[in-house]
Amino acid sequence: IYKAATGERVFDSGDDFETITAERLGDGFNASNDDNDDFDSRSDAKGPEPEAVALGLINGRQYAFIGLERVGGVMVYDISEPEAGRFVQYVNTRDFSQSIDEDNPASYSNLDLGPESIEFISAEDSPNQQPLLLVGHEVSGTVTVLQIRATPLD
């Protein structure tokens, strides 16, 4: 996170993305966005590749939602105090147990591959009065709707 007026960096997540995805995904760590059998094929090429960012205000707290284009999923940070950003959650709807046939793009359609865009919808603008996150996946051509349940951080 950078100050707009000065360009000064005030927060950096460091190696969070790699550490968290390695812990949570095991053999899916740093996989590409079009193959479920290529463990750690992205470490030398942008890793999980943060691609999309959306900001959302929920219950008076500011959150950053960061889509990881290659390995998939969304990192969530509470950035209410930008200098002290806090990791909140990692959500990945990709199914690493499914086979992907690279010659048959239709095999991608149920896998949520390659988050490319994210849109935050506030509770006030949501059809069910709950904050939502829309995640568009470029490889699979799918859109995932995530309902956000905000709970206070410790």
> In whole angstroms, what is the distance from residue 74 CA to residue 76 CA?
6
Neighbouring C-alpha atoms within 13 Å toward the C-beta of 46: 10
Is 70:48 a contact under the CB 8 Å cutoff?
Answer: yes
Is 37:102 a contact under the CB 8 Å cutoff?
Answer: no
- State pLDDT tens for residues 90-144: 998 877 777 676 777 666 666 777 788 999 999 999 999 999 999 998 888 889 9
- State pLDDT tens for residues 50-87: 889 999 999 999 999 999 987 788 999 999 999 999 99
pLDDT of amino acid 25: 76
pLDDT of amino acid 90: 92
Kindly indicate the confidence band of residue 30, based on its pLDDT and cuts at 50, 70 and 90.
low
What dihedral angle (degrees, nearest 10) is formed by the CA atoms of 39, 135, 86, 153? -120
Instruction: Give the 3-state DSSP-derived string for 86-139, with helices as H, strands as E and coil as C.
Output: EEEEEECCCCCCCCCCCCCHHHHCCCCCCEEEEEEECHHHCCCCCCEEEEEECC
